[in-house]
Chain A
Amino acid sequence: MVSKNQKTIIIGLGISLIFVLLGVFVFSYAMETLDVKAEELGAEENPIYEPPLPDYTIPGWEDEWGTLLLGVASTLLLFVAGLAAAMVLKKKSKSK
């Protein structure tokens, strides 16, 4: 028997995965106002850190399918991270 919370999570994660699909295959082109203004001024990014998965790509596998895999895995990771944080915060507020 699926509980109300489980049903909400399944539907919500389903919608999240649709967002990832659309983000990878339809709405993938990004040129934010910030980027345009920086380009006009010749201002350049100056990263102080090399991320392991730059620009949502897997090094050596830089096509949409790699990004899709990353998007799906990251969405699930964020769900677990958000849930874990909520559980810790709930426990903390209970113990007060």
Chain B
Amino acid sequence: MHIPDGFLTINVIIPTFIITLIFLAISIKKVKLTDQQVPIMGLLTALFFAAMMMNYPIVGGTTAHLLGGATLGLILGPFAGGISMTIILVLQAFLFGDGGLTALGANILNMGVIGIVVPCAVFLVMNKALKIKTTAALFVTVFVAAFLSDVTAAVAAGVELGLSQPVFQYGLSVAVPAMAINHSIMGVAEAFVTVVIIGTLLKLRPDVLAKSPILGKLSMFNKKDEVEA
């Protein structure tokens, strides 16, 4: 999903850089990390860089990779999660040329802002509506949030490409569905991986999830004794 140099026009490059820089400035100002989250942020940054190296076959000979936005957002919160994803995308662009420099604003916006804020928002809304108390309900909610993270990030990339005429002459009507449909398949894989990671942490490190600005809002973490490992 990394957009290279040459695919976006200036009318897309400038606004995406501006939105991304505003989000990052707010993130740096607002972020609050707990002691438990410090090593976890390092670990998840490394984990999802490595996960992005794997390209899975999806449809029609195309491939896609995991994003990690939902895991980063749900565990670290949207601000620390966005910073973590930004570190990955900046290093990928500068060291390996994975994603163009002119498209860096768009790539961070898609994967590090939309791909992270959307699952956090979906989770908070569903938690408020469903008042999640069971592990099964938690997993379903995480699954939906992670799936939508991938799909909305892909839709955003499709919109940016669709608006970048004349480079992408297909326009929005082709670019958006193509990205959304193909990445919805990857979204299912992303959702499974996110559920597995959060399920594993719930069992082994509930203290990390309890301190999360997003998952920490679950009622199951209100009883302190249950989460102190």
- Contacts of A78 on B, CB cut-off 8 Å? 45-46, 49, 87-88, 91
Known A12-B47, A43-B167, A85-B83: A24·B53 in contact at CB below 8 Å: yes
Tell me the bound Cα distance from A49 to B157 in angstroms. 22
The chain A residue with its CB closest to the CB of B40 is: A8
Tell me the bound Cα distance from A4 to B208 in angstroms. 11
List A1-19 residues whose CB lies under 8 Å from chain B: 4-5, 8-9, 12-13, 15-17, 19
- Contacts of A15 on B, CB cut-off 8 Å? 47
Interface size on B, residues (CB 8 A): 69
Is the CB–CB distance between B91 and A77 below 8 Å?
A: yes
Is the CB–CB distance between B62 and A86 below 8 Å?
A: no
Interface size on A, residues (CB 8 A): 61
The chain B residue with its CB closest to the CB of A28 is: B55
Tell me the bound Cα distance from A76 to B170 in angstroms. 40
Known A43-B167, A71-B53: A33·B47 in contact at CB below 8 Å: no
B28 lies within 8 A of chain A by Cβ = yes
Is the CB–CB distance between A53 and B5 below 8 Å?
A: no
Is the CB–CB distance between B43 and A8 below 8 Å?
A: yes
- Contacts of B168 on A, CB cut-off 8 Å? 37-38, 41, 43
Is the CB–CB distance between A56 and B46 below 8 Å?
A: no
The chain B residue with its CB closest to the CB of A30 is: B55
- Contacts of A86 on B, CB cut-off 8 Å? 33, 37-39, 41-42, 80
Interface residues, chain B, with chain A CB atoms under 8 Å away = 1, 3-7, 28, 31-33, 35-47, 49-51, 53-58, 60-65, 80, 83-84, 87-88, 91, 93-98, 100-102, 157, 161, 167-170, 174-175, 178-179, 182-183, 204-205, 208, 229
Interface residues, chain A, with chain B CB atoms under 8 Å away = 4-5, 8-9, 12-13, 15-17, 19-20, 22-24, 26-38, 41, 43-56, 71, 74-87, 89-90, 92-93
